[in-house]
């Protein structure tokens, strides 16, 4: 709660190994404990519209949808929204590519172009950014003072953008109602940021994947 209200910067993850695994289990359980009631409350608030809790239904008979939910989306979204929160110069430079990718993703949501062309371009932008990050991460490791000073705004801003790109989910309404509908994703973005900064990027990807599994994988297996 302290982190959500006033996010603070740490130079590197301070929990590793077995302790990190136990912390991840607690964080995933916390995510479900917060997000499920929040989603149910939103469903009860009849605007009127249909709000689904993170598309809580089995994929449409396609293993590809399951792969997207449990592997591609966690990796891609964590690389876009939270990988650069280490604050190192090389990571922040990569973050600019991530910002461009977010704009492209939002363009796909707003314009609703068939084939999600902008999303494809966003993937290419992230790939190029990763290449440059890989070339410079060993040399450009300094963390700017302004990033540490304004860290909370980067956390809140990235979590807001993380929620906004989910307006394109199925059955999510447009306008103000859509913003309310993706409130769980915004809250989830803060939780994932905590995991990313306190445990590490890999743990944040696992957190994201485990959360998606509760809403996609389990219904897919049990259908």
Over residues 70-85, the pLDDT tens digits come to: 888 899 999 999 999 9
- Residue 217 has a pLDDT of 60
**Separation CA 168–CA 46 (nearest Å):** 20
- Residue 4 has a pLDDT of 92
Q: Where are the alpha helices (DSSP H) in 45-88?
A: 63-67, 73-81
**Omega before 88 cis (within 30°)?**
no
| Span 10-32, average pLDDT | 91
Q: What Rg value do the Cα atoms of the chain yield, rounded?
A: 17
Over residues 130-140, the pLDDT tens digits come to: 999 999 999 99
Pull the structure tokens for residue 179: 């913003």
* CA distances for 113 relative to 30, 57, 104, 109, 150, angstroms: 36, 25, 11, 8, 35
Range in 66-70, 125-129, 131-135, 174-178 the model is least confident about: 174-178
Give the residue with greater pLDDT, 22 vs 220.
Answer: 22
Of the spans 41-55, 125-139, 207-221, which averages the highest pLDDT?
125-139
Q: Is the pLDDT of residue 146 over 60?
A: yes
Torsion from C-alpha of 60, 48, 186, 111, nearest 10 degrees: 70
Mean pLDDT score of the chain: 83
Q: Where are the alpha helices (DSSP H) in 15-142?
A: 17-44, 63-67, 73-81, 89-111, 117-136
Residue positions counted in the chain:
223
Over residues 165-176, the pLDDT tens digits come to: 877 665 555 555
Q: Is the pLDDT of residue 55 over 70?
A: no
What is the end-to-end Cα distance of the chain in Å, rounded?
A: 36
Give the residue with greater pLDDT, 125 vs 41.
Answer: 125
| Banded pLDDT at 52 (limits 50, 70, 90) | very low
Q: Is the pLDDT of residue 42 over 80?
A: no
Q: Is the pLDDT of residue 11 over 90?
A: no
| Banded pLDDT at 221 (limits 50, 70, 90) | low
Beta-carbon contacts of residue 207 (< 8 Å; ≥ 6 apart) = 24, 27, 28, 31, 191, 192, 195
Element (H, E) at 145: helix 145-149
């Amino acid at each position: 709660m302290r982190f959500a209200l006033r996010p603070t910067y740490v130079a590197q993850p301070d929990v590793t190994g077995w302790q990190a695994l136990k912390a991840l289990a607690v964080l995933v359980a916390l995510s479900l404990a917060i997000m499920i009631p929040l989603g149910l409350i939103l469903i009860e608030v009849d605007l009127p519209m249909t709000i689904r809790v993170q598309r809580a239904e089995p994929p449409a008979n396609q293993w590809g949808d399951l792969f997207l939910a449990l592997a591609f989306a966690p990796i891609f979204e964590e690389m876009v929204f939270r990988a650069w929160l280490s604050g190192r110069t090389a990571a922040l430079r990569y973050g600019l590519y991530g910002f461009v990718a977010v704009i492209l993703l939002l363009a796909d949501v707003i314009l609703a172009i068939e084939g999600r062309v902008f999303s494809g371009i966003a993937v290419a932008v992230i790939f190029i950014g990763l290449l440059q990050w890989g070339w410079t991460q060993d040399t450009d490791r300094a963390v700017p003072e302004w990033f540490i000073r304004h860290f909370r705004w980067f956390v809140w801003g990235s979590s807001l953008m993380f929620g906004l790109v989910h307006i394109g989910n199925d059955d999510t309404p447009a306008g103000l109602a859509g913003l309310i509908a993706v409130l769980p994703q915004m809250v989830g973005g803060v939780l994932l940021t905590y995991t990313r900064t306190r445990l590490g990027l890999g743990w944040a990807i696992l957190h994201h994947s485990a959360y998606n599994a509760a809403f996609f994988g389990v219904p897919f297996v049990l259908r």
